[in-house]
């Protein structure tokens, strides 16, 4: 399968954009930059629009999800939109009792802990993805030459919420399950891989020009456990969209030991968190991958001179890699001054890109 002829990546709208050029290892005219969690609480226009609407409900209202996706593009002039949704939306669409509690995160009515719990997990119909397709279509119709990035949660991070039933610090529940009930773990990871794969595919087919797999909590795993219990499911999620030919990014936090394994799961671009300098990440990857990252979100609150020096060092390290898309090392903190983000985009765009 390929994308339709009217898809933004196929009809010439986004294929020559700086983001897609950089993701594909080419030489962009300007340094591409976008921010994880660029949509959301740091923007007053987001807080106003969301008033009175539950988080997951807002994701499933196509006009609202589209407008929220567009807000940071208009305000900051970033080089990509990231689709406003959540990694637990596929659970919600399947009929799992899940909600996002403000200030807490995803919470399930009934955690998934036994073989019987996994066996009775519902499967969503293709039609359940229609609000996602509609929101993506509305968004790309407005974006013009700016690419939309679609995303999904990687099976480990999604399953971690399912087993714990809520956010947790060290993800003991899923890590225990791998070793105490490996068959149950594999069945759960497969369920999550299929759900996330279908969710990502719907976004790409409807108009997203690239995809990102978020394995935010993979850093709690040893390399051995990642390879034995997780990498296969993440590979299946990426394989579900590989035939579409869009660039695919794989990101996690605390994943310095896992970067080559995450690349080998089928990613074209490796997202790096703020703990590891990009040139060191590049060394660990054998100098072959385009990287995305990794401005420390904590520095968004620092005096401008401190932030600028840090950003320039990130750009310099990125120049010593096969390709670089500027981003944060994790999401925008909700209390970030949005004007700092706009200024950051201007700074990144003002520094001429490396010759590649
Ligand atoms: O701008 C964007 O990045 C696009 C949208 C996006 C959201 N969630 C919106 C959101 C994306 C890509 C995600 C992914 C996501 N969701 C991840 C992976 C990325 C990461 O940050 O590590 C994870 C782990 C989740 C689960 C989740 N959803 C958490 C931990 C939270 C925060 C809870 C809180 O209130 O602090 C959410 C809620 C959420 N997802 C919000 C947004 C904008 C906040 C909702 C609000 O406005 O109250």
DSSP of 132-194: HHHHHHHHHHHHTTSPEEEEEE-HHHHHHHHHHSS--SS-HHHHHHHHH-HHHHHHHHHHHHH
From the CA of 283, how far away is ligand 1's center (Å)?
Answer: 30
pLDDT at 1 over 90: no
Q: Specify the ligand 1 atom closest to the Cα of 102.
A: 35
Q: Is residue 261 part of a domain?
A: yes
What's the confidence (pLDDT) of residue 124?
A: 85
What's the confidence (pLDDT) of residue 255?
A: 98
Q: Tally the domains of the chain.
A: 1
For residue 340, what pLDDT band results from cuts at 50, 70 and 90? very high
From the CA of 41, how far away is ligand 1's center (Å)?
Answer: 10
pLDDT at 136 over 80: yes
Q: Is residue 252 part of a domain?
A: yes
Residues 142-164, mean pLDDT to the nearest whole number = 98
Q: Is residue 25 part of a domain?
A: yes
Cβ atoms of residues 158 and 88 within 8 Å: yes
Averaged pLDDT of the chain: 97
Residues 245-252, mean pLDDT to the nearest whole number = 98
Contacts of 231 by beta carbon, 8 Å cutoff, 6+ apart? 261, 264, 265
Virtual torsion, Cα 177, 172, 168, 233, nearest 10 deg: -40
Q: Whose CA is nearest to atom 2 of ligand 1?
A: 37
Q: Is residue 226 part of a domain?
A: yes
3-state DSSP of 317-342: HHHCCCCEEEEECCCCCCCCCHHHHH
What's the confidence (pLDDT) of residue 356?
A: 82
Tell me the per-residue pLDDT of 11-57, one tens digit each, with 9 for 90 and over. Answer: 999 999 999 999 999 999 999 999 999 999 999 999 999 999 999 99
Q: Is residue 266 part of a domain?
A: yes
Report the DSSP beta bridge partners of residue 206.
none
What's the confidence (pLDDT) of residue 315?
A: 98
Q: Where are the beta strands (DSSP E) in the chain?
A: 81-82, 98-101, 105-108, 148-153, 210-215, 248-252, 269-271, 290-295, 324-328
Best of 33, 34, 37 for a ligand 1 pocket test (most atoms within 8 Å of beta carbon): 37
For residue 153, what pLDDT band results from cuts at 50, 70 and 90? very high
Q: Is residue 141 part of a domain?
A: yes
Q: Is residue 1 part of a domain?
A: no
Rounded to whole angstroms, the Cα distance separating 102 from 206 reads 29
Cβ atoms of residues 290 and 324 within 8 Å: yes
Q: Is residue 264 part of a domain?
A: yes
- Provide the token pair at 291: 């990287």
Rounded to whole angstroms, the Cα distance separating 69 from 52 reads 18
pLDDT at 228 over 80: yes
pLDDT at 355 over 90: no
Establish whether 228 is a catalytic residue: no
Cβ atoms of residues 218 and 158 within 8 Å: no
What's the confidence (pLDDT) of residue 83?
A: 98
Q: Give the angle subtended at the CA of 343 by the CAs of 31 and 335, to the nearest 5°.
A: 115
What CATH number did the domain enclosing 131 receive?
3.20.20.210
Best of 34, 86, 273 for a ligand 1 pocket test (most atoms within 8 Å of beta carbon): 86
Tell me the per-residue pLDDT of 62-115, one tens digit each, with 9 for 90 and over. Answer: 999 999 999 999 999 999 999 999 999 999 999 999 999 999 999 999 999 999
Q: Domain of 216?
A: 18-347
CA 136 to chain centre: 15
Q: What is the pTM of this model?
A: 0.97
């Amino acid at each position: 399968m390929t994308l339709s002829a009217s898809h933004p990546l196929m009809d010439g709208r986004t294929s020559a954009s700086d983001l897609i050029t950089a993701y594909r290892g080419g030489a962009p005219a300007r340094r591409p930059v976008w921010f994880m969690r660029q949509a959301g609480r740091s923007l007053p226009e987001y807080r106003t629009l969301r008033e009175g609407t539950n988080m997951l409900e807002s994701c499933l209202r196509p006009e609202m999800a589209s407008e929220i996706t567009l807000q940071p593009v208009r305000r900051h002039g970033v080089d990509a939109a990231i689709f406003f949704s959540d990694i637990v939306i596929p659970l919600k669409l399947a009929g799992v009792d899940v909600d996002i509690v403000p200030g807490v995160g995803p919470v399930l009515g009934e955690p998934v802990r036994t073989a019987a719990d996994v066996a009775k997990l519902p499967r969503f119909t293709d039609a359940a993805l229609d609000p996602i397709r509609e929101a993506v279509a509305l968004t790309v119709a407005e974006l013009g030459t700016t690419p939309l990035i679609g995303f999904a949660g990687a099976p480990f991070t999604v399953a971690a919420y399912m087993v714990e039933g809520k956010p947790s610090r060290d993800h003991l529940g899923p890590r225990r399950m791998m070793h105490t009930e490996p068959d149950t773990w594999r069945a759960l990871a497969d369920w999550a891989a299929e759900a996330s794969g279908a969710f990502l595919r719907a976004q790409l087919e409807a108009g997203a020009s690239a995809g990102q797999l978020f394995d935010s909590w993979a850093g709690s795993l040893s390399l051995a456990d990642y390879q034995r219990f997780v990498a296969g499911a993440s590979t299946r999620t990426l394989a579900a969209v590989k035939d579409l030919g869009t660039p695919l990014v794989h990101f996690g936090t605390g994943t310095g030991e896992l970067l080559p394994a995450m690349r080998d799961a089928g990613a074209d671009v490796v997202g790096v968190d703020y703990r590891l300098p990009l040139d060191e990440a590049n060394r660990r990857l054998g100098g072959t991958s385009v990287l995305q990252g990794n401005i420390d979100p904590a520095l968004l609150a620092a005096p401008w001179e401190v932030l600028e020096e840090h950003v320039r060092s990130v750009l310099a390290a990125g120049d010593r890699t096969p390709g670089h898309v500027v981003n944060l090392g994790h999401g925008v903190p909700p209390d970030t001054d949005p004007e700092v983000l706009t200024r950051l985009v201007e700074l990144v765009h003002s520094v001429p890109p490396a010759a590649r």
